[in-house]
Amino acid sequence: MTERSLVLVKPDGFARGLVGEVLRRIEAKGYVLVALGLVTPTRDQLAAHYVEHQGKPFYDSLVEFMSSGPVAAVVIEGDRCIEGFRALAGATDATKALPGTIRGDLGRDWGQGPQENIVHGSDSTESAEREIGIWFPDLKS
Protein backbone atom coordinates (compact mmCIF):
# COMPACT_ATOMS: atom_id res chain seq x y z
CA MET A 1 0.00 0.00 0.00
CA THR A 2 2.83 2.42 0.77
CA GLU A 3 3.73 4.18 -2.42
CA ARG A 4 5.67 7.12 -3.78
CA SER A 5 4.65 10.05 -5.97
CA LEU A 6 6.60 12.62 -7.95
CA VAL A 7 5.61 16.18 -7.11
CA LEU A 8 6.87 19.25 -8.94
CA VAL A 9 6.50 22.84 -7.82
CA LYS A 10 6.36 24.38 -11.28
CA PRO A 11 8.23 27.56 -12.34
CA ASP A 12 5.23 29.77 -11.47
CA GLY A 13 5.11 28.33 -7.96
CA PHE A 14 8.86 28.69 -7.51
CA ALA A 15 8.85 32.30 -8.82
CA ARG A 16 6.03 33.21 -6.43
CA GLY A 17 7.85 31.78 -3.43
CA LEU A 18 5.38 28.94 -2.87
CA VAL A 19 7.81 26.01 -2.53
CA GLY A 20 7.72 26.18 1.27
CA GLU A 21 3.91 26.40 1.35
CA VAL A 22 3.54 23.35 -0.90
CA LEU A 23 6.03 21.36 1.19
CA ARG A 24 4.25 22.49 4.35
CA ARG A 25 0.94 21.14 3.07
CA ILE A 26 2.53 17.82 2.06
CA GLU A 27 4.14 17.40 5.48
CA ALA A 28 1.03 18.59 7.35
CA LYS A 29 -0.96 15.92 5.52
CA GLY A 30 1.50 13.36 6.86
CA TYR A 31 3.46 12.34 3.78
CA VAL A 32 7.20 11.94 4.07
CA LEU A 33 9.73 13.74 1.87
CA VAL A 34 12.05 11.15 0.33
CA ALA A 35 13.99 13.32 -2.13
CA LEU A 36 14.09 17.03 -2.88
CA GLY A 37 15.92 19.15 -5.43
CA LEU A 38 15.89 22.36 -7.45
CA VAL A 39 16.48 22.16 -11.18
CA THR A 40 15.69 24.08 -14.35
CA PRO A 41 14.39 21.24 -16.52
CA THR A 42 15.77 20.53 -19.98
CA ARG A 43 13.46 20.09 -22.95
CA ASP A 44 14.50 16.42 -23.18
CA GLN A 45 13.57 15.85 -19.56
CA LEU A 46 10.20 17.52 -20.13
CA ALA A 47 9.55 15.56 -23.33
CA ALA A 48 9.99 12.36 -21.29
CA HIS A 49 7.94 13.66 -18.39
CA TYR A 50 5.04 14.87 -20.57
CA VAL A 51 5.16 12.04 -23.16
CA GLU A 52 1.39 11.48 -22.82
CA HIS A 53 0.72 15.08 -23.89
CA GLN A 54 2.94 15.16 -26.98
CA GLY A 55 0.94 16.38 -29.98
CA LYS A 56 -1.70 18.20 -27.91
CA PRO A 57 -2.35 21.88 -28.71
CA PHE A 58 -0.90 23.08 -25.38
CA TYR A 59 2.21 20.87 -25.48
CA ASP A 60 4.80 23.30 -26.93
CA SER A 61 3.67 26.10 -24.66
CA LEU A 62 3.73 23.75 -21.66
CA VAL A 63 7.33 22.70 -22.34
CA GLU A 64 8.32 26.36 -22.85
CA PHE A 65 6.73 27.31 -19.54
CA MET A 66 8.17 24.35 -17.62
CA SER A 67 11.71 25.08 -18.86
CA SER A 68 11.45 28.80 -18.06
CA GLY A 69 12.99 28.58 -14.59
CA PRO A 70 13.69 26.44 -11.57
CA VAL A 71 11.25 23.81 -10.36
CA ALA A 72 11.34 22.02 -7.04
CA ALA A 73 11.22 18.26 -7.65
CA VAL A 74 10.05 16.18 -4.72
CA VAL A 75 9.46 12.50 -4.07
CA ILE A 76 6.87 11.91 -1.38
CA GLU A 77 5.94 8.66 0.32
CA GLY A 78 2.92 7.30 2.19
CA ASP A 79 -0.07 5.01 1.79
CA ARG A 80 -2.18 6.23 -1.17
CA CYS A 81 -0.06 9.38 -1.51
CA ILE A 82 -0.62 9.50 -5.30
CA GLU A 83 -4.37 9.93 -4.85
CA GLY A 84 -3.85 11.99 -1.70
CA PHE A 85 -1.53 14.53 -3.28
CA ARG A 86 -3.86 14.95 -6.29
CA ALA A 87 -6.62 15.75 -3.80
CA LEU A 88 -4.35 18.31 -2.10
CA ALA A 89 -3.48 19.83 -5.51
CA GLY A 90 -7.06 20.23 -6.72
CA ALA A 91 -8.40 20.43 -10.25
CA THR A 92 -6.02 21.11 -13.17
CA ASP A 93 -7.70 24.46 -13.88
CA ALA A 94 -6.84 26.66 -10.90
CA THR A 95 -9.88 28.85 -11.57
CA LYS A 96 -12.12 25.84 -10.97
CA ALA A 97 -10.04 24.18 -8.24
CA LEU A 98 -11.84 24.17 -4.91
CA PRO A 99 -10.75 26.45 -2.08
CA GLY A 100 -8.72 24.40 0.38
CA THR A 101 -6.60 22.91 -2.40
CA ILE A 102 -3.16 24.17 -3.47
CA ARG A 103 -4.40 25.30 -6.86
CA GLY A 104 -7.69 26.60 -5.48
CA ASP A 105 -6.08 28.64 -2.70
CA LEU A 106 -2.91 29.81 -4.42
CA GLY A 107 -3.54 29.65 -8.18
CA ARG A 108 -5.42 31.62 -10.81
CA ASP A 109 -5.54 32.13 -14.57
CA TRP A 110 -2.61 34.27 -15.69
CA GLY A 111 -3.75 34.36 -19.33
CA GLN A 112 -2.75 30.84 -20.41
CA GLY A 113 -5.79 28.96 -19.15
CA PRO A 114 -4.86 26.07 -16.87
CA GLN A 115 -1.13 26.07 -17.77
CA GLU A 116 0.27 27.84 -14.71
CA ASN A 117 -1.16 25.74 -11.91
CA ILE A 118 1.69 25.60 -9.38
CA VAL A 119 2.14 21.85 -8.98
CA HIS A 120 2.41 18.52 -10.75
CA GLY A 121 1.56 15.20 -9.11
CA SER A 122 1.83 11.71 -10.58
CA ASP A 123 -1.53 10.20 -11.54
CA SER A 124 -0.86 6.45 -11.15
CA THR A 125 1.71 4.04 -9.73
CA GLU A 126 3.04 3.45 -13.27
CA SER A 127 3.43 7.20 -13.91
CA ALA A 128 5.02 7.72 -10.51
CA GLU A 129 7.64 5.05 -11.12
CA ARG A 130 8.40 6.41 -14.59
CA GLU A 131 8.52 10.06 -13.46
CA ILE A 132 10.68 9.38 -10.38
CA GLY A 133 13.16 7.69 -12.73
CA ILE A 134 13.30 10.85 -14.86
CA TRP A 135 13.82 13.33 -12.03
CA PHE A 136 15.78 11.18 -9.57
CA PRO A 137 17.58 8.48 -11.59
CA ASP A 138 19.85 7.59 -8.66
CA LEU A 139 17.15 7.27 -6.01
CA LYS A 140 17.04 3.84 -4.41
CA SER A 141 13.69 2.19 -3.81
Smallest distance from ligand IDP to CB 88, Å: 12
Which CB sits closer to ligand IDP, 21 or 50? 50
Q: Is residue 49 annotated as part of the catalytic site, yes or no?
A: no
Query: Between residues 23 and 114, which has the closer beta carbon with respect to ligand IDP?
Result: 114
For residues 11 and 118, the answer to whether their CB atoms sit within 8 Å is no
Kindly state whether residue 83 participates in binding ligand IDP, applying the rule CB under 6 A: no
Closest CA to 35 of 73, 8, 71, 66: 73
User: Which one of the listed residues 31, 75, 120, 135 is annotated catalytic?
Assistant: 120
- Specify the stretch interacting with ligand IDP by CB under 6 A; choose among 28-36, 75-83, 107-115, 125-133: 107-115
Please give the DSSP secondary-structure letter assigned to residue 109.
-
Task: Compute the least distance from the CB of residue 138 to ligand IDP, in Å.
Answer: 25
Q: Which of 92, 95, 124, 125 binds ligand IDP (CB under 6 A)?
A: 92
Query: Residue 115 region, left (φ>0) first, then alpha (ψ -120 to 50), else beta?
Result: alpha
* Closest listed residue to residue 46, CA positions, set 15, 71, 22: 71
115 binds ligand IDP (CB under 6 A): yes
| 128: CB partners within 8 A, 6+ apart | 3, 4, 5, 6, 82, 122
Interacting residues with ligand IDP between 40 and 59 (CB under 6 A): 53, 58
φ/ψ (deg, to 5) at 118: 75, -45
Residues that bind ligand IDP (CB under 6 A): 53, 58, 62, 92, 112-115, 117, 120, 123
